[in-house]
Chains A and B, each alone.
Chain A
């Protein structure tokens, strides 16, 4: 358990270090995700505890960003000015993304199967 938590934190720490040293806007945690994936792929073996801990974290993401969402309390003026644009853009963009992803994936899978 502790080893799994330490693994996640170490990857994030290394990611944060790379982020700060490189000056890239890529968040440290995302770099940490790549590092963990690379490490898992390079070192075969089952990791039941790591699977368990990360599944627990993913299952409880919602409560972790509640404090951030409450931060909207300070964004009244921004919302009044841009609220409509943001909502319209978000809805249209979600629909378009789903359509494009599905169409491209289906087309590319069909092509792959015809080629095989």
Chain B
């Protein structure tokens, strides 16, 4: 064991296998919980993997280097967000004006409120850059945090928290506001809580889910544009 360990410890083979096995176990638990937001597989798998790294005294850079293949896929996945927008272009076109207005208002609210509160708590520029993209889908949020001088790992977790919370409050909150149009309900869930909101919306209603997906993809673009503008100004 002690002979082969140093060799295996620095291979993608070991760490990809471990990561996928832990994730698959977490995913089964999540399925058994009927996909409760609090049982999201990332939420369950991350602490287990951290414990494994600590127990085996594996430095994070070694783990990161050997699992980089997984992170690489985030790029093409982001590009692929264009596909559902293109497929649903007729739906988007029909409500284009109101959709864009709501998107702009939602995106601005997300950025202003999260940075405003962190700033009021005395957060540094680095933390502000980390939380600013909190309402967009993880790959875009991580890339934006990186570009703006934030911490991508922390941005991923912030996005996760927003998603879990958003998926949990969507139905009671939108009921309390007496929102009856599933386009509105879904879109709000997608803009505020990205993939989690979208998954939740699809559980309730097909049209709502589609609009949540549209909201998620459009908000990735809008937030990226707004934050770019902010960084340049």
User: Interface of A with B (CB < 8 Å)?
Assistant: 5, 8-9, 11-12, 15, 24-30, 32-37, 40-41, 47, 50-51, 53-55, 57-58, 60-75, 78-79, 82, 84-106, 108-109, 111-112
Contact = CB atoms under 8 A, between A and B. Distances in A.
Given A93-B117, A102-B179, A69 B42 contact: yes
Given A37-B86, A61-B195, A97-B109, 7 more contacts: A57-B76, A58-B84, A62-B42, A90-B161, A93-B114, A101-B102, A105-B98
Minimum-distance CB pairs A-B, first 10: A54-B80, A71-B153, A108-B98, A101-B106, A85-B121, A27-B143, A105-B102, A89-B117, A93-B114, A102-B188
Given A33-B78, A62-B42, A101-B102, A68 B153 contact: yes
A91 B165 CA distance: 7
Contact of B75 (A29, A35, A98): A29
A72 B49 contact: no
Nearest to B111: A93
A69 B231 CA distance: 25
B144 A27 contact: yes
B204 interface: no
B17 interface: no
A34 to B, nearest CB: 7
Contacts of A103: 177
Contacts of A105: 98-99, 101-102, 183-184, 187-188
State the majority secondary structure of interface residues on A.
helix
Given A11-B79, A66-B70, A103-B177, A93 B50 contact: no
Contacts of B73: 57, 60, 64
A82 B193 contact: no
Contact of B79 (A32, A61, A88, A96): A32
B153 A75 contact: yes
B138 interface: yes
Contacts of B106: 97-98, 100-101, 104
B148 A89 contact: no
Given A67-B67, A89-B114, A101 B81 contact: no
29 contacts: A27-B224, A36-B83, A40-B86, A61-B77, A61-B195, A63-B20, A65-B156, A66-B23, A70-B50, A71-B156, A73-B53, A73-B54, A73-B60, A78-B154, A82-B118, A82-B124, A86-B130, A87-B161, A89-B114, A89-B116, A90-B165, A94-B162, A94-B165, A95-B173, A105-B101, A105-B187, A106-B181, A108-B102, A112-B97
A112 B97 CA distance: 8
Interface in B207-233: 215, 217, 220-221, 224-225, 227-228, 231-232
B77 A58 contact: yes
